[in-house]
Chains A and B, each alone.
Chain A
């Protein structure tokens, strides 16, 4: 499978992540005004909540695999800001994976801080890509952060994909909750 195909696949996954994040925002905001939207939101949380930690771990795993593909297979050199995003994303694979298996839901705020920091770096990286003068006024021949290695659909660059991943992880952490325990039968 060539780089073009894999890049397009990762870009499509990023679009799906964005759709999921926007849908979540719509359900939260719409739920404040419409009881029917609130019910839909509750059903979605009930369905996804118990699986959310695991899903977030898979999202982090896909993001990590994508970044490793870009650097190790496609030979797109990661820049300084790429490395900062990796520092935020890679531990999430382990933290969320172990937490999902052990059902340790108290990890949510800690994982959210890590994902939030990563998202902030992604946003700054996207700004540097669009406004290169934010960082420097010239290009380092080696590997400037302003270099756009890939761009899909006119806006999806590598840090945009990373931001989509961080945002989806944050949404999944927000809806994650333990599975409803069956009610204990009353003693006769």
Chain B
């Protein structure tokens, strides 16, 4: 232990100058690195990640799915929403005579980022049955929130179901009563809501949702 008499005298300003020099050096590094990366990385997005969504004139919006309460949307006809896919093709999700599972996802949501690859893997072993459609809505698109653009993310994880691009004001999600992601709406062939689920689900639950769409009966 150094005795007080032998302790080196503190060179106060030197410590501050050193700290300031390090901070300035890091500032220069940040400016140079950010400039060079912006020159090499293209942020160009080929197709629009949001699209105008039109709700059918006779459609009635579903009530919001509330935790711990009976789902008031059961038996109600799903609204018809029309817009464009992430590839730019026309798409309509609504009562069209086929049973369907509609999945709402947000590109920045970690639960969606976990759920989508699980479903992709599951569908390789257990494809959707004939007569039940799996449709997707990419909603709540916010570039600053990361994992953008949603098309790049969904392509990367191998998602092959059609994906509707929701509008900037999330019209499709609002029409379907979304309160959180990921969000599953199951409708039978008549377009009636059989069940709705929000949050990450197991693949057993996913199979039950598909079965519910097929039979028109909510899972017990």
Contact = CB atoms under 8 A, between A and B. Distances in A.
A136 B182 CA distance: 12
B76 interface: no
A134 to B, nearest CB: 11
Interface stretch (A44-52, A81-89, A114-122): A44-52
Contacts, number: 115
B30 A139 contact: no
Contact of B31 (A5, A43, A180): A5
A186 interface: no
Interface residues of A, number: 44
A138 B34 contact: no
Given A4-B34, A8-B30, A138-B111, A133 B200 contact: yes
A180 B10 contact: yes
A93 B145 CA distance: 29
A138 B108 contact: no
Range class of the B interface residue count? 35 or more
Residue of B23, B29, B34, B140 contacting most chain A CB atoms (<10 Å): B34
Contacts of A76: 144
Interface of A: 1-2, 4-6, 8-9, 12-13, 16, 39, 42-43, 46-51, 54-55, 58, 74-76, 129, 132-133, 136-141, 144, 146-151, 179-180, 183
A136 B5 CA distance: 59
Interface string B35-69: 10110000000000000000000000000000000
Interface of B: 1-2, 4-5, 7-12, 14-16, 19, 22-23, 26-27, 29-31, 33-35, 37-38, 106, 108-112, 114, 140, 144-146, 170, 173, 178-183, 198-200
A51 B34 contact: no
